[in-house]
Structure 1
Amino acid sequence: MKLIDLIYPKNRIVSIVGTCKNAGKTVTLNEIILQAGEKGIPIGLISTGRDGERRDVLTETEKPPVFVRKGTIITTVENAIKPEHAGIEIYSVTDYNTPMGRVVIGRVVEDGYVEISGPYSSRTIKAMCEEMMSFGAELVLIDGSLDRRASAAPFVSDGTILATGAALARSQELVIDKTLHIINTYSIPQAERGEIRDLAEGIIEEGKTGLINEDLSITYVDTLTSLRSGSLIAQALTEDTRYVVLSGSATADTLKDIMQNAKSEITILVKDGTRIFIPQRELHLLQKMGLKLNVVDAINIIAVTINPYSPEGYYFDSAAFLENMRRAIPDIPVYDVMQGGNGYEY
């Protein structure tokens, strides 16, 4: 089964997120673009940063260009539209400005290379994805990144492809271990009770920190942010507290303060896995302390792609890397996009 068959038509908006720079995210994007073209699926492209440039502006390393077919809908910025790239018919000039100019949406009028870009705000990304679909895209691909994980949030995309590879670490074992931690973070279970999810959603929408008590009443904690507010939240805990709802991010220090002062069994609730910023070691320690962590919205990890090559000059044996990654995450399809990303066997 090809990667595109897992993605479409079940998902309409899909984010591609890398575990690090040079993890193979753009190669994954290009492979999905190619497979979508073979099936005649009209696509739209947007990035939470910038992709398609020949050289990374930060690391000065070579990057694979983004090649698209005529008719592709793209979101980019004015200064990224270049004479040597494919021509674009502009459909919409948005009010969103970046250092490289205004964000625009248009249709590619000839086969060729493009640069894609876009906003950082999750709400704006979502709005532009919907606008691209109104212009004819049936599948929208979001080029995301781990440091801008908003594109993987269920509010924005229907599912996520996680790209990982040798650039993450010099040993296969460490790459697999770090990738598993990210998958585990993204896979934090959803709160089972619908009424609890609804109450938590309301607290998060208000941008507040709230405690849900046994009788389902809510106690608000006066914090500007959940970061470094563990001691304030801990002071508000009572024997009736059952859930602590964080509208912002969940960090190790905050959760540790809460856990150490809990007067009864409690569950920490956050919006989704993109809000969890806890290193692997600290997460294990918190779980040993009895941490129960749930999300309101679960992230759908469609597949993992691997890149056995690092720009630093080292590489892994492709077949062994693929086999080991598949063994480590048997419930998620794994593809080697450097080999064409085909033929996952169930």
Structure 2
Amino acid sequence: MHLEGLSSLAIIGLGKNTGKTTLLNRLLRENPERTFALTSIGRDGEETDEVTGTKKPRIYIPRGTLFATASETLRAGDVTAEILAATPITTALGPVVILRALSDGFVELAGPSRTADLTLVEKKIRTFEPQALFVIDGAVSRISAAGRGLAEAAVLCTGTAVSRNLEELVRKTQTAVHLLTLPKTELPEPFPENRPALFRRAWSPVEVSTPAGGYDAVRDALAKGIHGVYFPGAVTEGLITELLPSPHFRELTLLATDGTRFLLRERLLEILGGRSIRLEVLHPIRLLAVAVNPKDPRGGSLPEETLRRRLEEVLDLPILSTQDNTRGGDLHEV
């Protein structure tokens, strides 16, 4: 994967064991000319998964890499590092500190999860390495690492751990890509993003009102010529199901902060499309590629070439391998 000109990247996954750590290790190994700065919105790089008890690939960083992690994770690695800065960010594993590796070695990452804290970490890192590639490891299935404008671009990891049924895995991946790449809204003016808002027809001039009753008031407002509805949090299937009985819930735009906020399955997306309901976002995500892990550590696998070929048929994105081989999945092909 060509990383020239890229300043930040989120590695996200559809679930556990989809190859995020292996992909991160490949990026580090195959781009020795770049200085990386790493953090995670969860915990990653541990030798054994604390939930499943299965062995996990560890994060191996080269000398010179910067990383931000909770202080208690430092003893779990073997890298020699110097502390560059402390931060006011606290976690269950201690305060987050920023370090530079003085040797090659293994590290665990347990960074902040709040948007403001991640922004602070990146800002502090850039005081030491302004040109570093800041990589946010999504951990577990936290695709939100790609949203909220946190990263300039993202790579989505998927694989047999999500589903051992080929066609089901392809459908889930295709739906995730659709949501992650939703278009930016044409809304011409900024507005408070921390509360629901209703927009009348023709976007301009924009008339914004906040329903006094919160989400319950949206259904009542649909009959008043509403052009768009903005939800500041997650747009869930439960929320949409509450609106479906309204005959006025059609021919409008649903807005969210970014594509990670739409938690909708394929069938409900089809229903919304049938009602001419468009999904748009304030902060679009630049998805660079999809990486596939054909193996499930709990047992079972899918033929990698078959999986890659099926995804290439339905996605207009490079399909990479998270494995250590480069056959057909060379990260430099993007």
2:80 alignment partner, one of 69, 82, 87? 87
Q: Offset of 1:316 from its aligned partner?
A: 1.5
- For structure 2, which runs of at least 5 residues remain unmatched after alignment? none
Give the length in aligned residue pairs. 326
Partner of 1:310: 296
Stretches of structure 1 lacking an aligned partner (at least 5 in a row): none
Name the CA shift for 1:211/1:146 in 2 (closer, same or farther; >3 Å): farther
1:221 maps onto 2:206 in alignment: no
1:212 match:
199
**Corresponding residue for 2:259?**
273
Matched to 2:118, the amino acid is I
Residue in 2 that maps onto 1:43: 36
Question: TM-score, length-normalised on structure 1?
Answer: 0.88
Q: 2:225 aligns with which of 235, 240, 247?
A: 240
Deviation at 1:154, TM superposition (A): 4.7
Identify, as 1 or 2, the structure richer in helix: 1
Q: CA RMSD in A?
A: 2.0
Between the aligned partners of 1:72 and 1:268, the Cα distance in structure 2 is: 41
- The structure-2 alpha-carbon separation of the partners of 1:44 and 1:185, relative to structure 1 and needing over 3 Å to count, comes to same
Q: Which residue number corresponds to residue 161 of structure 1?
A: 155
Q: Matched residue of 2:224: which SS? A: coil
Deviation at 1:264, TM superposition (A): 7.2
Q: Say if 2:43 and 2:139, in contact at 8 Å, map to a contact too.
A: no
User: Deviation of residue 238 (structure 1)?
Assistant: 4.1
SS at match of 1:168: coil
1:142 and 2:136 aligned = yes
On the 8 A contact 2:39/2:68 being kept in 1, the answer is yes
One-letter code aligned to 2:91? T
Is the CA contact (8 Å cut-off) linking 1:209 and 1:222 kept in structure 2? no
| Superimposed CA distance per residue, residues 302-341 of structure 1 (whole angstroms, 9 cap, x where no aligned partner) | 1111111111221122222222222221x21111121234
Contact 2:13 2:141 in 1 (8 A): no
Report the secondary structure of 2:310's partner residue: helix
* One-letter identity of the residue aligned with 1:98: T
What is the alpha-carbon distance in structure 1 between the residues aligned to residue 36 and residue 7 of structure 2?
9
Corresponding residue of 1:342:
330
Distance of 2:69 and 2:318 partners within structure 1: 31
Taking structure 2 as the reference length, the TM-score comes to: 0.91
* 1:194-246 deviations in Å (ceiling 9; x for gaps): 51xx2xx4131xx121111135222220245xxxx2x4211123433211121
Deviation at 1:49, TM superposition (A): 0.8
Q: Distance in 1 between matches of 2:8 and 2:85?
A: 20
- Decide whether the 8 Å contact of 2:184 with 2:283 is kept in 1: yes
SS in 1 for 2:161: helix
2:13 to 12, 18, 36: 18
In structure 1, what is the Cα distance between the partners aligned to 2:207 and 2:60? 54
Say whether residues 1:33 and 2:22 are aligned partners: no
Inter-CA distance 285–146: structure 2 relative to 1 (3 Å threshold): farther
| Cα distance change on mapping 1:269 and 1:133 into 2, 3 Å | same
